[in-house]
């Protein structure tokens, strides 16, 4: 079999597995969630977010904005199952979950979207770099990043967790984000490490431009796609993000000596 044919077969198999994972893992909670299609990918695939709870304290969790960094998708599926079993955790809270932010890249097992744009460099952060072609001609040039901006504008989350691979650490952007990264890292083996605010990234936009807590949960390269295994390793970190009191931290910072 030629390398081209082998790659085509591999992508086809991966797409089938991806579709099956989405159909099974997330349908289990559809009856209890308010599910919205917030946009479509370049290839017409829906970009969904699920909303749990009605409280004023809002957590947004995003997975697979890079299509070949997909371990976050089964991990958040397990988080959704946990939420169903612990509805008391939603008192005063709202959780918004975007299980697959880049559905075309997820289906193809590639980083970028169908026009070759890195969606996590396509936000209107102050450090957006229009000279780099793969970042997009302008911020929000891609339908996928515009869909995520729609979620951000509609729910205006108090804190954000975005799940990536393969840097094996708990990364953070902006001064408001470090305490949450530390709280999450305390619940798993990932060390706190600031990778650096990337040009036009969601982390740069939320953490630096908006000044809100955002943590990039960088899973290891070979984290796998087994939801049970991922949940045992990293589930407590997502629970810590849910329970994290951003306002308490902000008040504490104001009261601390300079």
Residue 249 banded pLDDT, cuts 50, 70, 90: low
pLDDT in tens, 157-210: 999 999 999 999 999 999 999 999 999 999 999 999 999 889 999 999 999 999
Predicted confidence at residue 230, as pLDDT, reads 98
Rounded average pLDDT over 4-25: 45
Please name the residue that has the structure tokens 């470090």: 178
Predicted confidence at residue 2, as pLDDT, reads 45
CA distance 221 to 79: 20
Please name the residue that has the structure tokens 């990536």: 164
3-state secondary structure of 201: coil
The contacts of residue 85 (CB under 8 Å, 6+ apart) are: none
Q: Note the pTM of the prediction, 2 decimals.
A: 0.85
CB 218 within 8 Å of CB 167 = yes
CA distance 190 to 181: 10
Over its C-alpha atoms, the chain yields an Rg (Å, rounded) of 18
Q: What CATH number is associated with residue 174?
A: 3.40.630.10
Count up the domains in the chain and report the number.
1
Q: Domain residues for 18?
A: 3-255
pLDDT in tens, 36-48: 999 999 999 999 9
The contacts of residue 51 (CB under 8 Å, 6+ apart) are: 33, 34, 35, 36, 94, 95, 96, 97, 155
Tokens of 40: 């479509």
* Letter string b/e over residues 36-45, b meaning 16 or more CB atoms within 10 A of that residue's CB: bebbebeeeb
Instruction: Calculate the CA 192 to chain-centre distance.
Output: 17
What is the full DSSP assignment across 146-183?
A: HHHHHHHHHH--SEEEEEE-SEEEEEE-SGGGHHHHHH
Predicted confidence at residue 196, as pLDDT, reads 83
pLDDT in tens, 57-102: 999 999 999 999 999 999 999 999 999 999 999 999 999 999 999 9
User: Does pLDDT of 18 surpass 80?
Assistant: no
User: Does pLDDT of 27 surpass 70?
Assistant: no
pLDDT in tens, 217-248: 999 999 999 999 999 999 999 999 999 996 66
**Torsion sign (Cα): 111, 138, 148, 198:** positive
Residue 32 banded pLDDT, cuts 50, 70, 90: low
User: Does pLDDT of 11 surpass 80?
Assistant: no
């Amino acid at each position: 079999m030629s390398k081209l044919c082998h790659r085509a077969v591999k992508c086809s198999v991966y797409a089938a597995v991806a579709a099956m994972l989405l159909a099974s893992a997330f349908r289990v909670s559809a009856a209890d969630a308010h599910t919205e299609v917030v946009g479509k990918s370049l290839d017409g695939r829906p970009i969904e977010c699920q909303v749990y709870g009605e409280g004023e304290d809002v957590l947004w969790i995003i997975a697979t904005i890079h299509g070949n960094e997909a371990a976050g998708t089964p991990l958040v599926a397990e988080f959704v199952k946990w939420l169903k079993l612990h509805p008391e955790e939603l008192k005063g809270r709202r959780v918004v979950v975007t299980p697959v932010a880049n559905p075309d890249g997820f289906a193809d097992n590639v980083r970028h979207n169908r026009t070759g744009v890195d969606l996590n460099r396509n936000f209107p952060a102050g450090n957006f770099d229009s000279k780099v072609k793969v970042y997009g001609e302008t911020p929000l040039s891609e339908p996928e990043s515009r869909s995520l901006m729609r979620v951000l504008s509609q729910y205006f989350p108090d804190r954000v967790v975005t799940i990536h691979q393969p840097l094996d650490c708990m990364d953070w952007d902006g001064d408001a984000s470090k305490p949450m990264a530390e709280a999450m890292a305390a619940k798993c083996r990932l060390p706190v490490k600031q990778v650096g605010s990337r040009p036009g990234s969601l982390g740069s936009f939320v953490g630096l431009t908006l000044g809100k807590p955002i943590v990039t949960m960088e899973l290891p390269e070979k984290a796998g796609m087994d939801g049970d295994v991922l949940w045992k390793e990293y589930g407590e970190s997502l629970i810590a993000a849910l329970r994290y009191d951003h306002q308490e931290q902000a008040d504490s910072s104001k009261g601390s000596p300079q």
